[in-house]
Chain A
Amino acid sequence: MTKSKLVEIIANHQDQITRREAEVVVSTIFSAIGDALSRGERVELRGFGSFYTKQRNARVGRNPKTGDTVQVPAKIVPQFKPGKELRERVDNIT
């Protein structure tokens, strides 16, 4: 499923909402999550999961092609942990 497919399903599901509005809603939801993460906030969506950020330490890496060592700087990366309900439901399909 892609974003446009998601938008289409939402627009068809809710009669009061046009396709254009559904598009804005979907973008708004995911950009709100991104904004919260960039503020270092955790986003907890009951039954679905949580988005959060994690600190990665600086490390010495290697260019796999040339074998040269490179300094990889410390960074903050976004993470997602599926909630209990999602985890169980996804595992329970055949």
Chain B
Amino acid sequence: MTKAEIAKVVHERVGLSKKESGQIVDVVLDVVHKALEQGEDVKLSGFGHFMVRNKRPRRGRNPKTGDEITISSRRIVTFRASQLLKNQVLGENQ
């Protein structure tokens, strides 16, 4: 599924025009994106939580050469699916 297909669902279920539906899907994702960029967690009840986490530097290895390197500290986004989403994925796949 792509953004265009989500826009189509919005168009069909909400009744906005195709153009408006496409735009609003972009806006919604953009707002979530911007919040995460600012280090803010995004909690969507019934779906899941997007969390911004700080990772400390750690020692790693270049898998190709075997050289030991330091992986610098970084900030990453993690996603925790809600129980509802987990159940939905389980229920309809089995």
As a 0/1 sequence over residues 12 to 43 of chain B, the CB contacts with chain A under 8 angstroms (1 = contact) are 01101000100011011101110111111111
Known A21-B14, A78-B85; judge A47-B47 contact (CB<8 A): no
Which residues does chain A contribute within 8 Å of B1, judged by CB atoms?
Answer: 32-33, 36, 41-44
Interface band, chain B: 35 or more
Let me know if B27 and A14 touch, CB within 8 A: yes
As a 0/1 sequence over residues 57 to 94 of chain B, the CB contacts with chain A under 8 angstroms (1 = contact) are 00000000000000000111111010001101111111
**Alpha-carbon gap, A40 to B92, bound state (A):** 9
Interface residues in chain B, defined as those with a beta carbon under 8 Å from any beta carbon in chain A:
1-3, 5-6, 9-10, 13-14, 16, 20, 24-25, 27-29, 31-33, 35-48, 50, 52, 74-79, 81, 85-86, 88-94
